């Protein structure tokens, strides 16, 4: 049995031979159980639980060395049936034109632009539908047929991103933010002279405005509701590199463009 | 893209590797976020996702060669500009060979009244107006509150 590995396994069968992946899976299962994601129940009559799958990812730092081993448990959402275990699935993401407008405004007004990232965004939302999933490999249960009844949404479920967006928008609206008509992923708060705006791309946020107090406040609110990571000044967002200088803001997709040419 | 070239569903050899054509064009589409200069070419190429031929792939390669010249090109938002919305649009009198419909291009600029910007604008616009299908801003932006209340063109 090897301790570490350079390649990402494609199945549980491959991964279980490596200590690093075993630990990563253990950590993931512990986090999910701590979050009360599921309870183990007998399989109900006439229910075929949806499958699940482990996905393995080696996180690298910018120098290419291994930062950590990450194991993700995902549900096989393609097995879900509309009207039974999911209903609505649409969830908006921000239009790129809006990102450009906001960055242009921020440049002109010399606002600071901050980037935030949510940890495990999809796992926070309660599920209203009854979703049953097979017990993931690596979780030990007794011999009788059991399955997991999900209480929280999991990556891979059809409704995951919608549930997350619902929860986030309710929170932001209750903080006095207004949703822009032109793009529902753009949240704006105006009060007296202060102007704050938040762009949402699933679990990545861009926060900018002229009031440092309001920005600190909303970060605090977000952090107490979800666990967010403050990535500081916006540098790299959805493959777009952002450079700030005294004279302006420069956007480019240099890395994306080079990768594209290398792969073609 | 070659100015005299009109891409259409032609009779040249169909590509065997359709998937890699689709993947390339898909990635070019995302690249138009910061590269409006390839917006028109990409829009044209994306019309042939179902049946790409050799001539379409040749055009993709031409775009890639163009990109290779300056991979780090992007947008610059100068701090010394004033907020002023300018919008242009044009159509090309039914030049699509397959459908005989027009291609509409539009271009909106949220900028710039400083002297340097004005000069640059002048040199850019005629070219863009005639040949490119460009989008910077989808909707007019009236004021800050305009972010909330702007309407469709």
ipTM of the complex: 0.75
Using the structure block, give the residue that is written with the tokens 């909330």.
B148
Q: Is the pLDDT of residue B130 over 50?
A: no
pLDDT value of position A64: 65
What does the pLDDT look like over A196-228, one tens digit per residue?
999 998 888 999 999 889 999 999 999 888 888
pTM: 0.75
Confidence of residue B114 (pLDDT cuts 50, 70, 90): very low
| pLDDT over 90, % of chain A | 14
A15 token code pair: 């991964």
B80 token code pair: 């010394």
Confidence of residue A114 (pLDDT cuts 50, 70, 90): very high
Q: Is the pLDDT of residue A19 over 70?
A: yes
B68 token code pair: 């290779």
Q: Range with the lowest mean pLDDT among A72-81, A147-156, A197-206, B122-131?
A: B122-131
Cβ neighbour number for residue B131 with a 10 Å cutoff: 15
Cβ-Cβ contacts under 8 Å, A180 against chain B: 147-148
Confidence of residue B43 (pLDDT cuts 50, 70, 90): confident
Q: Is A208 on the interface with B (CB under 8 A)?
A: no
pLDDT value of position A45: 78
What does the pLDDT look like over A129-158, one tens digit per residue?
888 888 888 777 666 678 888 888 888 888
What does the pLDDT look like over A83-112, one tens digit per residue?
777 787 788 888 888 888 888 889 888 999
Task: Give B65→chain A minimum CA distance, Å.
Answer: 9
Alpha-carbon span A244 to A255, nearest angstrom: 17
| pLDDT over 70, % of chain A | 94
Q: Range with the lowest mean pLDDT among A69-83, B33-47, B122-136?
A: B122-136
Cβ neighbour number for residue A171 with a 10 Å cutoff: 15
Task: Give B32→chain A minimum CA distance, Å.
Answer: 9
pLDDT value of position A62: 61
Q: Is A261 on the interface with B (CB under 8 A)?
A: yes
Q: Do B137 and A239 touch (CB under 8 A)?
A: no
SS (H, E, C) A228-247: EEEEEECCEECCEEEEECCC
What does the pLDDT look like over B20-38, one tens digit per residue?
899 999 999 999 888 888 8
Cβ-Cβ contacts under 8 Å, B71 against chain A: 254, 257-258, 261
Q: Do B150 and A181 touch (CB under 8 A)?
A: yes
pLDDT value of position B138: 36
Please give the residue of chain A at the shortest CA–CA distance from B137: A97
Q: Is the pLDDT of residue B143 over 50?
A: no
CB neighbour burial string for B15-31, b if at least 16 within 10 angstroms, e if fewer = beeeeebbebbebbebb
B18 three-state secondary structure: helix
C-beta of residue A42 within 8 angstroms of C-beta of residue A146:
yes
Q: Is A243 on the interface with B (CB under 8 A)?
A: no
Q: Is the pLDDT of residue A183 over 80?
A: yes
Task: Give A193→chain B minimum CA distance, Å.
Answer: 12
Residues of B with CB under 8 A from a CB of A: 20, 24, 27-28, 30-31, 33-35, 64, 67-68, 71-83, 110-111, 135-139, 141, 144-145, 147-150
pLDDT value of position B81: 77
Q: Is the pLDDT of residue B147 over 50?
A: no
Cβ-Cβ contacts under 8 Å, B110 against chain A: 101, 104
Q: Which residues pair with A189 in a beta bridge?
A: A196
Best mutation target, B23, B77, B137, to test chain A (most A CBs within 10 A) = B77
Q: Is the pLDDT of residue B125 over 60?
A: no
Q: Do B144 and A107 touch (CB under 8 A)?
A: no
Task: Give A91→chain B minimum CA distance, Å.
Answer: 19
Q: Is the pLDDT of residue B119 over 90?
A: no
pLDDT value of position A37: 83
pLDDT value of position A5: 62
Please give the residue of chain B at the shortest CA–CA distance from A191: B145
Q: Do B138 and A260 touch (CB under 8 A)?
A: no
Q: Is A176 on the interface with B (CB under 8 A)?
A: no
């Amino acid at each position: 049995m090897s301790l570490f590995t350079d390649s990402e396994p494609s199945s549980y069968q491959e991964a279980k031979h490596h200590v690093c992946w075993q630990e990563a899976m253990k950590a993931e299962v512990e986090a999910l159980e701590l979050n009360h994601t599921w309870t183990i129940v007998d399989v109900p009559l006439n229910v075929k639980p949806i499958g699940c799958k482990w996905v393995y990812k080696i996180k690298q730092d910018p120098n290419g060395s291994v930062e950590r081993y990450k194991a993700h448990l995902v549900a096989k959402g393609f097995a879900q049936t509309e009207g039974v275990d999911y209903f609505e699935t649409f969830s908006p993401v921000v239009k790129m034109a809006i990102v450009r407008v906001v960055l242009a405004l921020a440049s002109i007004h010399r606002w600071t632009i901050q980037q935030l990232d949510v940890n495990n965004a999809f796992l926070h939302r309660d599920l209203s539908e009854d979703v049953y999933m097979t017990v993931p490999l690596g979780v030990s249960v007794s011999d009788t047929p059991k399955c997991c009844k999900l209480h929280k949404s999991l990556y891979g479920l059809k409704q995951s991103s919608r549930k997350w967006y619902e929860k986030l928008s309710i929170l932001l609206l209750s903080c006095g933010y207004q949703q822009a008509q032109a793009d529902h992923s753009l949240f704006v708060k105006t009060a007296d002279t202060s102007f704050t705006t938040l762009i949402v791309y699933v679990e990545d946020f861009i926060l900018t405005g002229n009031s440092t107090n309001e920005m600190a406040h909303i970060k605090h609110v977000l952090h107490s509701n979800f666990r967010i990571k403050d990535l500081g000044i916006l540098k790299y967002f959805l493959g777009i590199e952002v450079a700030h200088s005294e004279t302006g803001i420069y956007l480019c997709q240099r890395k994306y463009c080079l990768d594209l040419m290398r792969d073609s | 893209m070659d100015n005299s070239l009109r891409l259409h569903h032609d009779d040249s050899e169909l590509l065997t590797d359709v998937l890699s054509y689709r993947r390339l064009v898909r990635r070019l589409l995302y690249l138009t976020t910061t590269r409006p200069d390839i917006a028109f070419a990409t829009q044209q190429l994306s019309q042939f996702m179902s049946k790409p031929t050799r001539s379409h792939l040749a055009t993709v390669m031409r775009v890639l060669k163009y990109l290779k010249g300056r991979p780090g090109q992007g947008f610059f938002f100068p701090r010394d500009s004033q907020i002023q919305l300018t919008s242009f649009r044009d159509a090309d009198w039914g030049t699509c060979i397959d459908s005989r419909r027009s291609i509409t291009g539009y271009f909106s600029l949220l900028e710039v009244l400083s002297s340097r910007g004005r000069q640059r604008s002048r040199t850019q616009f005629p070219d863009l107006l005639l040949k490119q299908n460009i989008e910077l801003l989808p909707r007019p932006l009236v004021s800050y509150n305009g972010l909330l209340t702007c309407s469709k063109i």
